[in-house]
């Protein structure tokens, strides 16, 4: 994405005293919510790993369920529900060394091509994740009783991908609306 789009995103996320529009408030709310979920997942993951080490080496009784919790719930939550926040702060790969040296017309074309590609990819992610979650729900997929896995239905953690992708799509579409020629002429 262009540096202009990521600058606008950072301005929306900063605590500025100027009044913001509805799209800016939605953007900031989705990005902040995603940030809090990602941080909470990371924090819980850290506490679970520390508890596992303490239980294993000082008590002699490992938790057993910690790997299931981390790999099935916390890590997918961190990655997929953190997507909108990562997008909003520009935590994606960018080739600014080349991009910054291109003429502004070429930059605009590349920005739009990148946005179209991003929308297509995010919609594909949301669709594939929705199919996986719906299949797990329809099959009633859950860990076997008395196993070392966390007893959470599979569709719950499989829904993290379509939810995260849908929220990221909201942010991308808001960026598209902000960068459209009509929105620039109005401001």
Q: Which pLDDT belongs to residue 12?
A: 53
State the average pLDDT over residues 161-176.
95
Q: Is the pLDDT of residue 1 over 70?
A: no
Two tokens at 110?
């590349």
pLDDT band at 19 (very low <50, low <70, confident <90, very high): very low
pLDDT band at 182 (very low <50, low <70, confident <90, very high): low
The proportion of the chain whose per-residue pLDDT surpasses 90, expressed as a percent, equals: 59
Answer yes or no: are the C-beta atoms of 31 and 13 closer than 8 Å: yes
Residues 6+ positions from 145 with CB-CB distance below 8 Å: 151
Q: Is the pLDDT of residue 34 over 50?
A: yes
Lowest mean pLDDT among 28-37, 93-102, 113-122: 93-102
Angstrom CA distances, 91 to 1, 143, 151, 172, 176, stand at 11, 35, 33, 14, 18
Per the listing, tokens 């520390």 go with 50
Sign of CA dihedral 46, 49, 53, 54: positive
Residues 6+ positions from 2 with CB-CB distance below 8 Å: 99, 107, 110, 111
pLDDT band at 187 (very low <50, low <70, confident <90, very high): very low
Question: Burial of 87 by CB count in 10 Å (0-12 exposed, 13-18 middle, 19+ buried)?
Answer: buried
Q: Which pLDDT belongs to residue 178?
A: 86
pLDDT band at 77 (very low <50, low <70, confident <90, very high): very high
Q: Is the pLDDT of residue 117 over 50?
A: yes
Q: Is the pLDDT of residue 94 over 80?
A: no
Greater pLDDT, 125 or 18: 125
Per the listing, tokens 């009509």 go with 182
């Amino acid at each position: 994405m262009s540096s202009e789009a990521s600058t606008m995103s950072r301005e929306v996320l900063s605590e500025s005293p100027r009044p913001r529009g509805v799209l800016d408030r939605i953007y900031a709310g989705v990005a902040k919510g995603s940030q809090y979920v990602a941080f909470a997942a990371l924090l819980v993951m850290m506490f679970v790993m520390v508890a596992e080490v303490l239980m294993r080496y000082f008590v002699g009784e490992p938790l057993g369920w910690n790997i299931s919790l981390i790999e099935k719930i916390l890590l997918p939550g961190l990655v997929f529900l953190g997507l909108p926040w990562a997008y909003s702060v520009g935590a994606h790969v960018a080739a600014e060394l080349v991009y910054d040296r291109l003429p502004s017309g070429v930059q605009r074309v590349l920005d739009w091509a990148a946005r179209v590609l991003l929308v297509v990819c995010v919609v594909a992610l949301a669709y594939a994740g929705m199919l996986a979650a719906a299949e797990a729900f329809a099959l009633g997929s859950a860990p076997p009783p008395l196993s070392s896995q966390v007893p959470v239905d599979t569709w719950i953690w499989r829904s993290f991908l379509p939810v995260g992708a849908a929220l990221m799509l909201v942010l991308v579409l808001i960026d598209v609306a902000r960068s459209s020629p009509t929105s620039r002429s109005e401001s």
